[in-house]
Amino acid sequence: MKDLLNEDEFVTPVNYNPWKSFAVFYCFAIAQAGIAQLITYAGNSSYQSRLMSGFFNIIAGITICLVMFLHKKQNLALPWPVKIKAVLLLTIINAASLLALAALSYNDFMDSFAFYFGRCVMAALIYLCMYGICCLVVYIVQKSKEKNGRL
């Protein structure tokens, strides 16, 4: 009789969906671009304000990418294709938000669309390189935790 009423047969496993937690970090990436623009315009686009905005972008971008994967053990254990898709989507969101902010903030945006689009493509390449370094750090942390048996 005990063989017929095994509880494990009735329990359905819950699949973890990482995209719900990733959506929060994508919103942070959009806010990051807006804050960087505010820093630039608060200083009247001076050299110091643009430099501070660049440092903010680098530090916030690295922090967002690392925390996105390291804040939950399930995110660290995700397969690499999912992680790469998440990083590429983060890069696209950063570049798209920069392009949207450029369109909203410049009066001559349509006259020199190629210039602003090229600038956003260059920013996307920089973000991609920066997030590639973050993926390397995540890979090292993941292998270290797998080696120690904590993952």
Instruction: Say yes or no to pLDDT of 61 above 60.
Output: yes
Residue boundaries of the structural domains of the chain: 21-148
Element housing 118 (H / E): helix 113-148
Instruction: Say yes or no to pLDDT of 102 above 80.
Output: no
Q: How many CA atoms lie within 13 A of 110 on its CB side?
A: 0
Burial class (CB within 10 angstroms; exposed 0-12, middle 13-18, buried 19+) of 90:
buried
In the predicted model, what is the mean pLDDT of the chain? 85
Within 10 angstroms of residue 71's Cβ, the number of other Cβ atoms is 13
CA atoms of 83 and 88, how far apart (whole Å): 9
> What's this model's pTM, rounded to 2 decimal places?
0.81
For every residue of 15-49, DSSP letters joined together read: PP-HHHHHHHHHHHHHHHHHHHHHHHHHTTT-HHH
